[in-house]
Amino acid sequence: MTRAARIVLLALAAACLSRPGTAGAADSAPPEASSDQANPSGTITVISDNDLYGPHNKDRHYTNGMRFGWMSADDDVPDWARSFQDVLPLLASDARRRIGWTLAQTMFTPEDKQTETPILDDRPYAAWLYAGLKLQTETDRRLDTIEFDLGVVGPWALGEEVQSRWHSLIGAKPAHGWSNQIKNEPGLDIMAERSWRYALTESSDVLGVDVVPNLTASLGNVFTYGGGGATIRFGRALDTDFGPARIDPATPGSDSYRPPDGLGWYLFAGFEGRAVGRNIFLDGNTVARSQSVQKRPLVGDLQAGLALTLAHARLTFTELVRSKEFYGQHHPDYVGAIALSIGF
């Protein structure tokens, strides 16, 4: 990654931290953005992933994730981002447009955290601290997202500090092997997601069923993969979103949602399979020598949960089962995710 590329991406991330004006949005709003369909509010989303929320609480592997994000209101997009969206092949031109930013950290540990020496047959200690820029388009049946993530792995990602303070707060034993974590390295990923929404029952103000297939892809020195899956949902006001927001890599959902008339809710269950070309948290550093394990080329997620939406607030809870990610891993991993989105 060149210095110029870093400067450009940092400038893009910084620019989207300021709430863009609505100038020019009215005369370019697409047909789908009618008053009863558009989301009039920006959205702030906070997501917490932790194996503490899972049924087995093993405190291992993908052990914690936090993501803070903001997504603009429909068509509240600055001119530079609108021009950028026009040239990206995935994003639809005749759709509602949004821009957003993300700040997130994820961390990974071996199963045995009391050993100070490297554990060669388990995944290494690692953390990923990054900022992201999202460009998104949405129609009634399709949601497209392109995300640019820029950050660091290694000690600069502050995984040891965050986990040590959290364990101290909840009275858990500290981990003693962080000195063996993968080394510092800048990370740059470009991600693309597409989701479709298909109603399986006739429109109803009471109950409905729909299915949301998806395709995902990532290219970068942190994650490189391609995948796809589907989620089935049962409940009321299913057209408010495309599924719960998650921390990648995961089944894609939507940070934005349309406030329902009254209480919206749904139960959901889904799956996603990914073909993995690179996972720095298993493969180790790109250039520097670091601890690594042999990753499995195919990984699958199963998830289920509940989403509640009332006025300008949405709360979701997801239980995730992730298949073995490397050879020598004895059991799949279980992680819970809690996400709160607030419209403003």
Tokens of 139: 């129609």
Q: What 3-state DSSP class applies to 18?
A: coil
Average pLDDT value for the chain: 87
pLDDT per position as a tens digit, 20-41: 333 333 333 333 433 344 566 7
The domain ranges of the chain are: 3-16+43-343
* Structural element, H or E, at residue 164: helix 159-170
Q: Is 164 left (phi over 0), alpha (psi -120 to 50) or beta?
A: alpha
Judged against a pLDDT cut of 50, whether residue 64 lies above it is answered with yes
Q: What is the mean pLDDT of residues 2-25?
A: 37
Judged against a pLDDT cut of 80, whether residue 3 lies above it is answered with no
Rounded to the nearest angstrom, the gap between the alpha carbon of residue 303 and the centroid of all alpha carbons in its chain is 14
Q: Which residues contact 191 (CB under 8 A, 6 or more apart)?
A: 145, 146, 147, 148, 149, 216, 217, 218, 219, 223, 248
Instruction: State pTM to two decimals.
Output: 0.86
Sequential DSSP letters for 257-277: -PPPSSEEEEEEEEEEEEEEE
Q: What is the mean pLDDT of residues 304-325?
A: 96
Judged against a pLDDT cut of 70, whether residue 295 lies above it is answered with yes
Judged against a pLDDT cut of 50, whether residue 181 lies above it is answered with yes
Q: Which pLDDT belongs to residue 238?
A: 94
Radius of gyration for the chain, computed over Cα atoms and rounded to the nearest angstrom: 20
Q: Which residues contact 252 (CB under 8 A, 6 or more apart)?
A: 143, 145, 193, 195, 214, 216, 242, 243, 246
Q: Which pLDDT belongs to residue 205?
A: 72
Could you tell me if 328 and 61 are in contact, meaning their C-beta atoms sit under 8 angstroms apart? no
Q: Which fold has domain 3-16+43-343?
A: Lipocalin (2.40.128)
When pLDDT is cut at 50, 70 and 90, the band that residue 9 belongs to is very low
Q: Which pLDDT belongs to residue 32?
A: 40
pLDDT per position as a tens digit, 191-238: 999 999 999 998 667 899 999 999 999 999 999 999 999 999 999 999
Tokens of 50: 């932790």
Q: What is the mean pLDDT of residues 289-311?
A: 96
When pLDDT is cut at 50, 70 and 90, the band that residue 129 belongs to is very high
Q: Which pLDDT belongs to residue 203?
A: 67
Tokens of 103: 């700040």
Q: Which pLDDT belongs to residue 35?
A: 36
